[in-house]
Amino acid sequence: MALRKLVAGNWKMNGTRAKLAELDGIVSAADAAPGVDVAICPPFTLIDAAVAAAPSLPIGAQDCHHAVQGAHTGCVSAEMIVDLGARYVILGHSERRTDQHETDRDARGKALAAFAAGLTAIICVGETGAQRDAGRAGIVVAGQLEGSIPATGTAANLVIAYEPVWAIGSGRTPSLAEVKEMHGLIRAKLEAILGIEGAGVRILYGGSVNPGNAAELLAVPDVDGALVGGASLTAAQFVPIIEAAAAL
Ligand code: 13P
């Protein structure tokens, strides 16, 4: 089943208000691609201004807390993100798994909070280079999916991003055959966990997606979009990726 593509940008810890000028070109490209969903996930500090600057563009956060409110200094709840007008939240990104020691269980708790607040959770999974070299990529990703996906996940409130850790920011990507195999495995696992809903959950590929490789990656079966880091930081790099999705 061909699902509607989602091209999402993860700005990570990049950008001050001046960066929002990039949204003009991204909005124009999104408007010209009505068959594709486009989203930008800037740092928390820019969500409010991004929603104001680009009201038609879905905006997302890069994390949320599992609790609704309380004594959690420095944290942000899903409700607070919704309150700013954002619609997505990236959860369990490998950089947070490394830097903040987040686990599958953490991602699951945060996804439940996101669902309750009305956000769509983009849960990230992916193996390290050592795990792939050891032939364990499939087992690792299957375990991450089992540990992090709530049973209440649906095609509307959940997106999975397959991001091999070794491909992030490295300029290296898996072969198209490896992407096909892993996305097929993720689809089967989603259907095992969520039943028929799992057939409609979009599976994004992430890791060194750029204007040069987007078309071939997006054409792989069960690749329902892309989660783009570095190349989402400028309209010049991100727009061709939106256009590649629209051309399929
Ligand atoms: P790059 O596109 O910079 O490799 O980052 C991918 C990523 O981590 C998106 O979440």
Count up the domains in the chain and report the number.
1
Active-site pick, 22, 66, 79, 93: 93
Active-site pick, 22, 102, 127, 163: 163
For residues 132-166, one letter each, b for 16 or more C-beta atoms within 10 angstroms of the residue's C-beta and e for the rest, the string is beeeebbebbbebbeebbbeebebebbbbbbbbbb
pLDDT in tens, 166-191: 999 999 999 999 999 999 999 999 99
Where residue 158 sits, what CATH number does that domain have? 3.20.20.70
Its pTM stands at 0.98
Closest approach atom of ligand 1 to CA 170: 4
Enumerate residues 6+ apart whose C-beta is below 8 A from 163: 93, 94, 124, 125, 126, 205, 206, 207, 227
Give the pLDDT score at 98: 97
Distance 163 CA to ligand 1 centre (A): 8
DSSP 8: E
The verdict on the CB of residue 89 being under 6 Å from ligand 1 is: no
Residue 43 lies in a domain: no
- Residue 163 annotated among the catalytic residues of the structure: yes
Q: Per-residue pLDDT for 27 more than 80?
A: yes
Residue 117 lies in a domain: yes
Give the range of the structural domain holding residue 66, as residue numbers without chain letter.
51-170+181-211+234-248
The residue among 38, 168, 149 whose CA lies nearest residue 96 is: 168
Residue 82 lies in a domain: yes
The verdict on the CB of residue 206 being under 6 Å from ligand 1 is: yes
Q: Do residues 173 and 134 make contact, with C-beta atoms less than 8 angstroms apart?
A: no
DSSP 59: B
**Which amino acid is present at 37?**
D
The residue among 59, 40, 198, 50 whose CA lies nearest residue 119 is: 59
- Residue 183 annotated among the catalytic residues of the structure: no
**Pairwise CA distance, residues 155 & 200, whole Å:** 5
Distance 229 CA to ligand 1 centre (A): 3
Q: Do residues 8 and 122 make contact, with C-beta atoms less than 8 angstroms apart?
A: yes
Closest approach atom of ligand 1 to CA 12: 10
pLDDT in tens, 90-148: 999 999 999 999 999 999 999 999 999 999 999 999 999 999 999 999 999 999 999 99
Residue 147 lies in a domain: yes
Residue 150 lies in a domain: yes
Tell how far CA 43 is from the center of its chain: 14
Residue 62 lies in a domain: yes
The verdict on the CB of residue 217 being under 6 Å from ligand 1 is: no
pLDDT classification of 14: cutoffs 50, 70, 90: very high
Residue 27 lies in a domain: no
Distance 51 CA to ligand 1 centre (A): 22
Residue 28 lies in a domain: no
Q: Do residues 223 and 179 make contact, with C-beta atoms less than 8 angstroms apart?
A: yes
**Pairwise CA distance, residues 201 & 185, whole Å:** 13
